[in-house]
Amino acid sequence: MTSGKPSPSTFASLSLDPRLLSALTALGYEEPTPIQQQAIPPLLEGRDVLAQAATGTGKTAAFALPILHAIAAEPTKGAGPAALILVPTRELAMQLAEAVHRYGKTIGVRVLPVYGGASMESQLRALRRGVDVVVATPGRALDHVNRKSLNLDGIRTLVLDEADEMLDMGFAEDLEAILAATPSARQTALFSATLPPRIVTIAGKHLKNPVRIAIARETTAHGKLPKVRQTAYVVARGHKRAALGRVLDLESPTAALVFCRTRLEVDDLTEFLKGQGLRVEALHGGISQGERDRVMKKLRAGTLELVVATDVAARGLDIGHLSHVVNYDVPSSPDVYVHRIGRTGRAGREGVAITLAEPREHWQLKNIERATKQKIEIGSVPTVADLRARRLELTRASLRESLLSDAGGLDAYRVVVESLAEEFDPLDVAAAAVKLADPSADGSGSAGEEHEIPAVAVAPPPAGLRAGKDGKSGPRGGRPRDGSLASIFIGSGRADGLRPGDLVGAIVKLAKVHPREVGSIQIAERFSLVEVPEAIAEDVIRALRAEGVRRKKVTVRRDKER
């Protein structure tokens, strides 16, 4: 059944413990979200709840606040917890445990995240001391139950969060075992982004006359920009990697999540995109927990442009700054599509959802449109001309920014322009300068740019100066002066998004040398080497050490191998 009561418009109207209201005010919460409005009242009444709500709707507070209210009214007795929250991934366990701690800090709640990959001994010690709320992954929770270190006899509330994800990850048997070990008189809340038949079956078996809640996706008022711009590209399978590369080159995402169907596809696509100079990492079930933690740390720090993942590996990832979601294949159902693209376009920002569909999958896009009642635009894969126009526009924007912010710093270059203006038209001089700054104007792009080719027949060249087959590249149109050369080591490389043009620009600007003074450049994964005339090597090293590269301090020294 569905609750017919009017939805409360403030947290104060929800009759929560005053200490919880104080915590919410301190955290900046002003009014409850729809899922909180509909779920908190029945949970406070002790009712079971079956709720369909996606990540980002505020469902954590929807089940956490009633749990904390009950603990405040009747503190936990003994060592066993009063509430157990089951989640699919380690990341979500840590995230929810932190949220419950923040909400319940004023009542002194004891919260413990329990997950695999962490120290079993430290979890055992914490459980022996006593906790109020356990947030756990099913596998590790069942380990503790079997060890008799997690006593479920006192469980008053059991929450299954992201239930569909837990089933997809193969936790069905673990969930059944845990449910069987909890008191039959418990309150149960099940939250899921989708409600496939398997979820409905579990709800029918383990929930008692639940209040059913469905939170519809937020729609956009007429005349306003949609929060997620949805575009699909129909391409043959053999051209999909190249098509994706071109689309990403044109879109320039700040942070994107790319979904693939299989581990093999994830690894293959990740290696391809790394070869295009993109900062990208893979996530799938074969990745170790340590490697996963490393990827997540880089993602949160903003040092990754792309994460390529399977649906299962992406469970529980909550990336606030995600600008793009990419479906490398058309999702298996409209619900999966909605769940994926709901990860972007949050906090009032516009997100972008990109889908690559093979010709035979075009009908699936129509099914998604009918189910979501939203239009998915069919785009044309960017051509070489589109990419060149995009790079030229970026060059124009960079020049404009330099003119606005660094007008006084151009005096040193005026003498060059003035001397050339005596011989050539000033507009031609400026155009020649722009051409030198354009990465595609000197033939340094891929061979495919020089000929008419199918739109997706070759991979797109990465923006910026391209290296040759030996991994080296000289500056545009220039070559170092005669004489001995010094090789300089710079502690930044492809992993940081560094490109040859960045080094040329930094050396020319900071060391006040001519572009022709810069010799060959080699960009490796974690470092770079650049050659300059021996006579100016120390000046270049001092300048780069003082100012950094791309506004970031890096190690700069002579290359010891040379």
In the chain, the number of structural domains is 4
Centre a 10 Å sphere on the Cβ of residue 336 and count the other Cβ atoms it contains: 19
**Whether residues 169 and 55 fall in one domain:** yes
Helix (H, G, I), strand (E, B) or coil at 477: coil
Considering only 4-13, 291-300, 440-449, which range has the smallest mean pLDDT? 440-449
Q: Please tell me whether residues 297 and 391 are part of one structural domain.
A: no
Selection from 430, 426, 464 nearest residue 445 by Cα:
464
- DSSP letter string, 97-152: HHHHHHHHGGGT--EEEE-TTS-HHHHHHHHHH--SEEEE-HHHHHHHHHHT-S--
pLDDT of residue 483: 53
The Cα–Cα gap between 540 and 510 comes to 8
Cα distance between residue 119 and residue 13, in whole Å:
42
Q: Return the CATH number at 508.
A: 3.30.70.330
Contacts of 268 (CB under 8 A, 6+ apart): none
Q: Do both 481 and 393 map to the same domain?
A: no
CA distances from 138 to 119, 165, 318 (A): 16, 12, 20
pLDDT(402) > 60: yes
Sign of the C-alpha dihedral, residues 389, 391, 396, 400? positive
Tell me the DSSP string of 391-455: HHHHHHHHHHHHHHH-GGGGHHHHHHHHHHHTTS-HHHHHHHHHHHH-TTSSS-S-GGGGS---T
pLDDT for the residue 347: 54
pLDDT in tens, 219-241: 444 433 347 889 999 888 888 88
Q: What is the mean pLDDT of the chain?
A: 79
Q: Is the residue at 152 inside a domain?
A: yes
Residues 63 and 177 placed together within one structural domain of the fold: yes
Q: Which tokens sit at 94?
A: 């840590």
Is the same domain home to 430 and 560? no
Asked if residue 199 and residue 237 are part of one domain, the reply reads: no
**222 falls within a domain:** no
Cα(109)–Cα(99) distance, integer angstroms: 12
**Confidence class of residue 151 from pLDDT cuts 50, 70 and 90?**
very high
**118 located within any domain:** yes
Considering 321, 348, 382, which residue would you say is the last residue of a domain? 382
pLDDT of res. 137: 92
Instruction: Please report which helix (H) or strand (E) contains residue 86, including its range.
Output: strand 83-86
What integer pLDDT is reported at residue 223 of this predicted model?
37
Quote the pLDDT of residue 55.
Answer: 65
Is 315 inside any structural domain? yes
Distance (Å, whole) CA 294 – CA 443: 38
Q: State whether 247 and 343 are in the same domain.
A: yes
Partners of 549 in beta bridges: 552
Phi, psi of 532 (to 5 degrees): -140, 160
pLDDT in tens, 125-134: 999 999 999 9
Inter-residue contact 131 to 112 (CB < 8 Å):
yes
Give the pLDDT band of residue 75 (cuts 50, 70, 90): confident
Structure-token pair, residue 384: 């070489």
Give the mean model confidence (pLDDT) for residues 500-515.
Answer: 80
Query: What is the signed CA dihedral for 479, 480, 483, 484, rounded to 10 degrees?
Result: -120
Give the structural domain span for 258.
Answer: 228-382
Give whichever of 116-130, 149-163, 472-486, 514-528 has the largest mean pLDDT. Answer: 149-163
